Amino acid sequence: MTRLHERGAQLVALAILVATGVAAAIFAAGAWTLEDMRVYLDAARRLSSGDPLYSTPNPLAAYQYAPWFAAAWIPATALPEVVVEVGWSAILVAASVVTVLPLLRRPSVASVALAALMLPLLLFSSARSGNVQPLLVAVLVVGLERRWAGPVGIAATASLKAFPLAFALVYVGRREWDRAAVAGIAFLMLTAPMLLFDLSAYTADGPRPGTLFDISPLLWGLPVAGLVMLSLWLAARGSRYAWLGAASTVVMGLPRMLTYDLTFLLAGSPVRPRARSANPTSTKLIS
């Protein structure tokens, strides 16, 4: 009877998550606004015309990323905006699906429930607004354990959102110094050009009211420091949870705590391809 009750509770939880996803989908269908995509396009136009790249005092409309990402959008400025909207939406939807597919390779109630929670966050919290988040998470999910794609993917992701650099803690803990160095050097190469621009008007989306950082930087800093140490320890032991520790560090480290930031945890949870490093692992959180 206990087993039956447990299974029933799991199915109820899954049903609630699916219902939440459906409700979010209905909302997003009428509110697919792509406002963040327009921020990227405007930044590309300013960059190509020589106007200040970091010049908007409104944090909700400010371009906050490394210049290379704005440069990558310059070709899109020559296209009709509707074409860009459709193309970028398709990329983000595909990336969202890629991030949760590993959870469904060996489906269980727990893995399906996690996918049902994370996919709506990716689609209807970030893809809906045109935010690059689903693409960043997909790069990490697919590439972290690949020999050089992992370090470069970490660097590229961190050049846009900063805190994903914490994924390199796994390389440090494993003493994979070459991969850690590539991640660090690539990050500096991607972000250093920011110093060539006027940063006096640079605006970042700061901590939200009620977050730990807003209440006390110390309350925020202590658990982050603890997660850094935990991630290094797990990696040094060759634990399959090392990536999850690093992903938790990323999420906890982000002082603003937007809902879709939780999707960085997907980079720590899926069964990923066998590592091509000296310490092959298979990160499997859910069976």
More confident call, 173 vs 113:
173
Q: Is residue 149 part of a domain?
A: yes
Residue span of the structural domain in which 17 resides: 2-267
Residue 276 lies in a domain: no
Q: How many whole angstroms separate alpha carbon 184 and alpha carbon 119?
A: 30
The overall longest dimension of the chain from CA atoms, in Å, is: 70
Using the predicted structure, report yes or no on whether residue 276 has a pLDDT greater than 50. no
Residue 279 falls within a domain, yes or no?
no
Within-domain flag for 109: yes
Residue 272 in any domain: the answer is: no
Does residue 274 lie within any of the structural domains? no
pLDDT of residue 242: 93
Structural domain count, the chain: 1
Confidence at residue 283, expressed as pLDDT on a 0 to 100 scale: 39
Count of alpha carbons within 13 Å of 52, Cβ hemisphere only?
Answer: 12
Confidence at residue 107, expressed as pLDDT on a 0 to 100 scale? 74
Query: How much is the average pLDDT of 190-206?
Result: 85
Q: What is the pLDDT of residue 12?
A: 55
Looking at residue 172, its pLDDT comes to: 96
Residue 278 banded pLDDT, cuts 50, 70, 90: very low
204-262 pLDDT, tens digit per residue, is: 766 666 677 777 788 888 999 999 999 999 999 999 899 999 999 999 888 877 788 88
Q: Is residue 278 part of a domain?
A: no
**Residue 273 counted as domain residue:** no
